[in-house]
Amino acid sequence: MRCILSQLSALTFFLAAFASAQISFNPQTQQATPPPSNTPPEQRCIVAGRVTNAQTGEPLKKVLLRLDVSTGKLTASRTNAPEGYAISSDTEGNFHFDGVEPGSYTLSAHKTGFLDYNYGAATLRSPARILTLAPAQQLTALDIALQRQGVISGKVFDEDGDPAPSVNIQLLRSWWTHGKLQYLPASSSATNDLGEYRISNLTPGKYYLFAEPQDFASLQQSAIAPGKPDIRPVRTYYPDALTLAGATPIEIKAGQDAPGVDIRLHAAATYHVRGKIAGSLPEGDLDRLIVTITTQNDEVFWAFGGQSAIQKDLSFDVAGVAPGAHIVNVSRMGGGSLRFLAHQPIDVGSSDLTGLIVNLVPLLSLRGQIRIEGTPAGPPVSLSTLRMSLTPADRTSMFASLNQIAFKPDGAFTLENIFPGKYFLRLVGTRDGTYLKSVRLGQEEMLGKALDLSASGELDILVRYGPAEVDGTVAKPDNTASASDSQSSPQTLASPATVILVPESPDADGAAPGQSTARADGSFSVKQVPPGRYRAYAFEQVESELLQNPDVLAQLQPMAVEIDLKENEKKQIQLPLISAAQFQQLLDRLGIDPQ
């Protein structure tokens, strides 16, 4: 029993962590590696400034400051030991980077109890402004004001008013993805033995909160008469609702501590789902197989429900299932990964659902080849540096498969044990100077589309040398120069601008191929852009996820600069700056709260 409980607990944690999509960067554990230097000491740079509390103005000591080498891309990732420099502020909040190699950098600040900070960012989720240091340059008056984190805390009680320990607490936040508004996990916690919980490190915005008992009771034999409802505590949204539609949002302002967000769990009639597994079982212990039930909910990304172990006769019994539409999943955990083996919709009415047969789905294999064509402008790309990832396109199958594979030296690849469904394909790794030209599944071109992997197949991936590049400048809104006139002189920006290229036909996964942050002088460069037609925008302040909203894109079109990029082309443009006020007015017209 202890082994099974451990498996179920691990599955719950795995799903919660993955669903929240919060791959956190912990600067405290990252060592900065100074970039290689042949620069004479007198030509090196200085970056200095002071860190204060944004609410009180008091200096902050022991703040970790990072000066990281910048690629100029918004999507640049931090991996292992990024090149750059790291220091801590002194007792007066002062910091001083000395002997800095000339080049482009981003500056960030990190301190427990405060929100992470990117210097020059328009919003807390925006990229940092790029600091370009000329030889011997000194930037010595950089002011950084850290905002205290938001906190939500409270207690959870059962129906009798007694403290409810070991209750899962989930915080949701609205998010536009794949053209739809969904509610994704923002953070999570669990109540202690006194029924208390606390969720910290929150940015300003509106949140929804629900409490849900950890459901390992389905491993026990129920004393409820067969067919009779089992009255038990169920998922309850703050302050007193059974559905998200009836919940009240919790608005957190900058640095706000919101105590007393208490929930009394509802008790409701729930039922058992009993059945058997049918089909070819994978090798290994039955202890590694788990039945879970998730709620079919178009809004809430993660709606995890009851669980059950699988008995030796392949039977299962999931208790505590509320009436409604659900999905029965059979999964196998092992080696730190999760593999789904079945995904079957069900409807639970006002009685137990018994005699259910859940058929295991035969897993698929995908074979194929990746090719690189064209003439490289620099060193050729090695296939050994590339990886292919498949991400499920269907929210309800989001945990069906997590795959990332390497290619053989000749470009061949084989991917086994794929759960049937639709997937988004992405290439990851070092492939500078190339772009993804074609993705063919059988005889069908699937570039920018979701791959329908309902049967085994052959995949042909073509990568070409010769992506385009867009360079230019961002002008303030009062600049009257033509948006296409690259010779006009823009005014200096008061704050960084985010430059985004939106393809005329956006990819199904909503990925934006080109993003950059304009420098203080308004200049920007977007590299690695696949040839095609784009609409270019420069925002003073934008949450890029809002550009997944088709209504927002439609309203933005008149403000765009349209460009048509050919292979290897370098195009110069000038973009008018869409101010924060302009973008907010657009959202107001659409009735959208950016949170």
DSSP one-letter code for 443: T
Please give the pLDDT value at position 76: 32
What pLDDT digit, counting tens, does each position of 345-369 carry?
999 999 999 999 999 988 888 999 9
Is pTM, for the whole model, over 0.85?
no
Share of the chain above pLDDT 70, in %: 81
- Tokens 């196998």: give the residue: 332
Structure tokens at 113: 């109890």
d(CA 325, CA 273): 12
- State what percent of residues in the chain have pLDDT above 90: 47
Confidence of residue 210 (pLDDT cuts 50, 70, 90): very high
Reply yes or no on whether the pLDDT at 539 is more than 60: yes
Token pair 């026990």 is found at 220
pLDDT for the residue 478: 58
Quickly list DSSP for 307-375: EEE--TTSEEEEEEEPSEEEEEEEEEEETTEEEEEEEEEEEE-SS-EEEEEEEPPPPEEEEEEEEEES-
For position 287, what pLDDT does the model report? 75
- Of the candidate ranges 150-154, 301-305, 439-443, 447-451, the one whose mean pLDDT is the lowest: 301-305
Task: Give, for 453, the enclosing helix (H) or strand (E).
Answer: strand 451-453
User: Is-contact 54 145, C-beta < 8 A?
Assistant: yes
Q: How confident is the model at residue 62 (pLDDT cuts 50, 70, 90)?
A: very high
Quick check: 534 pLDDT over 60?
A: yes
Q: Give the mean pLDDT of 8-12.
A: 45
Tell me if 236 sits within 8 A of 264, measured CB to CB: yes
pLDDT exceeds cutoff 50 at 178: yes
The set of residues, in sequence order, having a beta carbon less than 8 Å from that of 369 and lying 6+ positions away, is 411, 412, 413, 459, 460, 461
**Phi, psi torsion values for 578, nearest 5 degrees:** -85, 110
CB 392 within 8 A of CB 421: yes
3-state secondary structure of 548: helix
Distance CA 196, CA 192 (A): 5
* Domains recognised in the chain with CATH numbers: 2-22+150-359 (2.60.40.10), 31-146 (2.60.40.10), 364-465 (2.60.40.1120), 468-590 (2.60.40.1120)
Taking the C-alpha atoms of residue 200 and residue 171, their distance in angstroms, rounded to an integer, is 11
- The Cα 453–Cα 434 span in angstroms is 26
Q: What is the average per-residue pLDDT within 229-249? A: 90
Q: How far is CA 579 from CA 120, 491, 496, 498, 583, in A?
A: 15, 14, 11, 11, 6
**Structure-model confidence comparison of residues 3 and 365, the more confident one:** 365
3-state SS assignment for residue 149: coil
Q: Are 211 and 165 in contact (CB under 8 A)?
A: no
Judged against a pLDDT cut of 90, whether residue 16 lies above it is answered with no
Judge contact between 288 and 333, C-beta under 8 A: yes
Cα dihedral 175, 179, 180, 184 sign: negative
- Chain segment 553-582, per-residue pLDDT in tens: 999 999 999 999 999 999 999 999 999 899
**Whole-angstrom Cα distance, residue 511 to residue 556?**
18
- The 10s digit of each residue's pLDDT in 283-311 is 666 778 889 888 876 556 555 667 888 89
How many whole angstroms separate alpha carbon 556 and alpha carbon 559? 5
Q: What local confidence, expressed as pLDDT, does residue 14 receive?
A: 43
Confidence label for 71 from pLDDT (cuts 50, 70 and 90): low
Residue from 306, 310, 303 nearest 318 by CA: 306
Cα angle for residues 416, 454, 545 (degrees, 5° grid): 90
- Give pLDDT tens digits for 458-479: 999 999 999 999 999 998 765 4
Residue 226 has pLDDT above 70, yes or no: no
* Mean per-residue pLDDT of the chain: 83
Q: Out of 133-137, 231-235, 462-466, pick the least confident.
A: 231-235
Q: Determine the Cα–Cα distance for residues 390 and 413; give it in Å rounded to an integer.
A: 13
Q: How far apart are CA 206 and CA 298, in angstroms?
A: 20
51-68: burial string, b at 16+ Cβ within 10 Å, e else: bbbbeeeebbeebbbbbb
Q: In what order do the strands lie in the sheet with 444-445?
A: 412-418, 364-373, 457-465, 434-441, 444-445
Please state the φ and ψ torsions of residue 490, each to the nearest 5 degrees.
Answer: -75, 160
